Amino acid sequence: MLTVRKRLDQLFKLKNPKLDSSKEFTKEELIERGFSPKNGKIDVLFIFPPCAIAERYGRKNMGNVGGDLIPLGIASLAAYLREKDFGVGVIDCPALRIDADEVFEIIKKKDPAIIGFSTTTYTLPRVIEIAKKIRDNLPTKLTVFGGSHANVAGIETVNKYDSFDIVSYGLDGEFIMLDIVKKYSEKKFNRNSFMQDFTMLESIKGIIFKKNNVVIQNPARETIENLDELPLPARDLVPLEKYMPLPNQYKKLPLTNMVVIRGCPYFCSFCDQAGTGARRRSPKKVVDEIKHCVEKFGVKEISFWDDTMSYHKKWMNEFLNLLIEANLDIIWSCYAAVNTVDKNILQLMHKAGCWNIFFGFETGVEELSKNILTHRKNRNFEKMKEVAKWTREAGIESRGSFMIGIPGETPELAKKTIQTAIELDPDYAQFTVCCPYPGTKLAEEIHEGKWGKFITHDLKDYQMWTVTWLPFGYKNAKELKNMERYAFRKFYLRPSYVIKRILKIRSFEDIKRYFKGGTALIKGFL
């Protein structure tokens, strides 16, 4: 006999509607869909590494509730190389529930000339595991490492680990990968001759490699100024049926994520893209991509992942008006900084289909914001309160991000941030532990003895849910972690909040989403 717990889990289990509802695809079929050969060959296989939910959130008991979205970085690289007539493949391990051993077997079977990895800091150990297996068993394969960790700690990675041939750094990997593949093809895809031709390697901008055991960093590649020239991400190579955000981050399925901007104009100390500038695709190009997703994939919702989408008001107005004019049956969510929106733009966003905005409030202590944020103008508590009110009045739900354990914070000041979250009263609040990722300004300052001290250098711990450093204001890691849990309890267990969520229920789908999100919250954070 099934337990009540299991019966409830079955009853409320969410499944992403299939793009082809007439067929259930096997894992093998979904894997095969990820390959687009040229003359029967795969020149480059891009891999997004395995990552269990427990690793991603630092919680062992959350169950299968973590969100998965398309790894747009490798999907964009694959689209660009395919357009240039190379055979490509994409394997998104978390979406396909593929582990390191399975990835290795796929590599052996498909026999790509180049294996490209995209990784964050906390997934690097898994990437190293796979790359070492390749080096030990498939020594003729060229390995290329890219992603956010490569951008900030590429030299350290090449110096420390022998499993990577090349590190690609920078925000525009398309031109770099094309250069690598073209030059590699000139060498008849021979790894040994390629890696020994230092003159050739030194001609490729944007890469890091070893020359006679000495790490060489070539000059950075010029940025792509006209992003409209790039093809749309290769969504046809990823298992769209398997992607689903966290329960509080969507309303309709199928959903796809999308980016408008590369880089960031701000210089926040905890960000790996700080000060990289902001290049935008044209509003028309973005609307065209939305149309493409609706018509080809049946997408009903877009999740914009740009931190600064609303930064340029002229661009935003043009985009919103074009989207309204297109009259698409689509809803969407986005991120926004408090100082980049006003009452009018929020109303226009709602008219254009926006239902949810994720605001980076971060702290309720104004005097501490200067320690991590650079865009402090017009973002005091009164401004945050005003924007939260405008968002509600526009008919848009809000999610608020708050960091616990920022530089200069004490438990007493953390409680002030928690109280701020309650007073702002977003529909959802996300409380994360401040994480100084390697290569960021914040990490450098802590290494110099400012703000506190590191308590671990284990790469798998570098995500927003694990304590990696201890601010001077806290006694120990347990005190900091307990403060995070206290924040979740204080915010979500308010009777007024529970009643508000119940009153917002409009369908059985809402009930299922709330159940799944509530279960994750109880298991992982309360």
Query: b or e along 219-230 (b: 16 or more beta carbons within 10 Å of the residue's beta carbon)?
Result: eebeebeebeeb
Residue 92 φ/ψ, nearest 5 degrees:
-100, 95
- Among the four given CATH numbers 3.30.420.480, 3.40.50.280, 3.20.20.150, 3.30.230.30, the one describing domain 29-217: 3.40.50.280
Residue 257 confidence (pLDDT): 95
pLDDT value for 267: 84
DSSP 217: E
The C-alpha torsion from 367 through 368 and 373 to 379, rounded to 10°, is: -50
Which amino acid, 347?
A: Q
pLDDT band at 116 (very low <50, low <70, confident <90, very high): very high
CA 200 – CA 135 distance, rounded (Å): 22
- For residues 408 and 473, is the Cβ–Cβ distance under 8 A? yes
Name 395's Cβ contacts closer than 8 Å, sequence gap at least 6: 350
Are 228 and 187 a contacting pair, CB within 8 Å?
no
The mean per-residue pLDDT over the stretch 499-520 comes to 78
Give the CA distances from residue 12 to residues 21, 270, 518, in Å, rounded to whole numbers and listed in that order.
20, 37, 12
Pairing, β 44-48 against β 114-118: parallel
Please, what CATH class does the domain formed by 244-524 belong to? alpha beta
Which tens digit of pLDDT belongs to each residue from 292-326?
A: 999 999 999 999 999 888 888 999 999 999 999 99
What pLDDT sits at residue 57?
63
- Residues in contact with 14: Cβ distance below 8 Å, sequence separation at least 6, in sequence order: 244, 247, 512, 513, 516
pTM above 0.95, yes or no: no
Instruction: Kindly state the average pLDDT of the residues 13-31.
Output: 63
**Coil, helix or strand at residue 433:** strand
Per-residue burial over 343-362, b if 16 or more Cβ lie within 10 Å, else e, is: eebbbbbbebbbbbbbbbbb
The mean predicted confidence, pLDDT, of the chain is 88
Please tell me the distance from the alpha carbon of residue 412 to that of residue 381, in angstroms, as a whole number: 17
Overall average pLDDT of the 246-253 stretch: 86
Find, among 48, 108, 54, the residue nearest to 74 by Cα. 48
Residue 93: closest CA among 65, 129, 68: 68
Q: Residue 453: what are its φ and ψ, rounded to 5°?
A: -145, 150
Mean pLDDT value across residues 200-221: 95
Domain layout of the chain by residue ranges? 29-217, 244-524
Phi, psi of 451 (to 5 degrees): 80, -30
Using 50, 70 and 90 to split pLDDT, how confident is the model at 25? confident
Q: Choose the weakest-confidence range: 20-29, 126-135, 200-209, 443-452.
A: 20-29
Contact 74, 116 (CB under 8 A): yes
Q: Is the pLDDT of residue 503 over 70?
A: yes
Structure confidence at residue 104 (pLDDT): 96
Structure tokens given for 22: 């007439």
Is pLDDT at 74 greater than 90 in this prediction?
yes
Q: Write the pLDDT tens digit of every residue in 141-183.
A: 999 999 988 988 899 889 888 888 999 999 899 999 999 999 9
Q: Which of 150, 157, 198 shows the shortest CA–CA distance to 171?
A: 150
Alpha carbon distance 150, 208 (integer Å):
9
Per-residue pLDDT, averaged over 256-274, amounts to 87
Buried b (16+ CB within 10 A) or exposed e, 236-259: bbbbbbbbbbbbbbbbebbbbbbb
pLDDT of residue 375: 53
How far the first Cα of the chain sits from its last, in Å, is 29
Q: What is the spatial distance between Cα 281 and Cα 144, in angstroms, rounded to a whole number?
A: 27
Q: CB count, 10 Å around CB of 305?
A: 18
Q: Exposed (0-12), middle (13-18) or buried (19+): which is 422, by Cβ within 10 Å?
A: middle
